[in-house]
Amino acid sequence: MELYLPTPNKLSRNYTPEERDSEDFRRVVAAMGISRGAYRNWEYPAILAAIGDPLGKRILSIGAYQCAISLYLSHFADELVAVDRVACEALIHWGETQAYGWGSQTEFRCCDAGGSQAPVYPDDLPEGPFDIIISAGAIEHNDGDGDMQVARNIGRLLAPDGIAAITTEWCLEHYYDEDFVGGWVYDLSAILTRIVKPSGLQLWYDPANPGRAFEIRSVSWKRCIEDFPAMSRAMTTFCPVLVVLEHRKEKEAKIPQ
């Protein structure tokens, strides 16, 4: 299987409707066998662009059940550890029903990366470090401070030169929506205080663009409703966002306050 990676852009960002309608994105979507819904059709290519080449890397996927990018990356990584709260049998069965199943170097763990859910799950989180950590649309599905604990674990398990790519729900206000979202919706402040700060990591910073410490943009809300009509029933409009994290390093310029 040929791995296609979109042009890397490691600023924390997501993609415009024009970008996610491009032939490049369609190729990735088709390779993964996913629908062109409002979220996954840009989420997965955006994560691929952020993490770079997965060949020979050790990857941790948090919330791997029904996460097609985890299935996809398992065929290229040196090792992929798939973590979810669902029973491992369900995770494996789901993977086996897809076009190409899980890669041979995949390990499954039935555990809670947030550490705050009941009942207690049988497996512990794996030992780090990981070159790449991904979490696609999962970190928000934690009550209390479970999302902050997931962020702490991501920071603890990420290798010194590693990249963590997290997608979640973004809005102009921060709130908990148990019924529709099944968890948190984040504004910019909540992303910084509940994900970035607890992780001990920092948003990707490109010295070549010192005026742009990070960029987080929502996709077209109109397009989200067109692709996913149920979203129009949400009390507050929201769209997905990608957050890219790395360990703190010496920078060539200070991040603007």
How would DSSP label each residue in 177-214? ETTTTSEEEB-HHHIIIIIIHHHT-EE---TTSTT-S-
pLDDT of residue 206: 54
pLDDT at 165: 92
More confident residue, 199 or 29: 199
Query: Is 173 contained in some domain?
Result: yes
Asked if residue 1 is part of any domain, the answer here is no
Mean pLDDT of the chain: 75
Going across the sheet that includes 58-62, the strands are 106-110, 79-84, 58-62, 130-136, 158-170, 239-246, 202-203
pLDDT per residue as tens digits for the range 37-86? 445 666 787 788 788 889 999 999 999 988 888 988 999 999 999 999 88
For the stretch 160-196, pLDDT in tens is 999 999 988 887 788 888 777 788 888 888 988 999 9
Asked whether the predicted pLDDT for residue 100 surpasses 80, the reply is no
Q: Which domain holds residue 173?
A: 17-246
Looking at residue 17, its pLDDT comes to 58
* Whole-angstrom distance, CA of residue 251 vs CA of residue 235: 41
CB atoms within 10 A of CB 194: 22
Question: Which CATH number covers residue 78?
Answer: 3.40.50.150
If one counts the domains in the chain, the total is 1
Cα three-residue angle 234-147-163, rounded to 5 degrees: 110
8 A C-beta contact, residue 152 and residue 200:
yes
Residue 87 lies in a domain: yes
Q: E strands, 90-193, where?
A: 106-110, 130-136, 158-170, 175-177, 183-185
The answer as to whether 134 is a domain residue is yes
| Contacts with 49 (C-beta within 8 Å, 6 or more apart), sequence order | 5, 6, 7, 8, 9, 10
pLDDT score of 162: 95
Specify the higher pLDDT residue, 155 or 188: 155
Backbone angles phi, psi at 169, to 5 degrees: -90, 135
Residue whose pair of structure tokens reads 């149920």 in the numeric block = 230
How far apart, in whole angstroms, are the C-alpha atoms of residue 67 and residue 59? 14
Q: What percent of the chain has pLDDT over 90?
A: 30
SS3 14: coil
Domain contains 69? yes
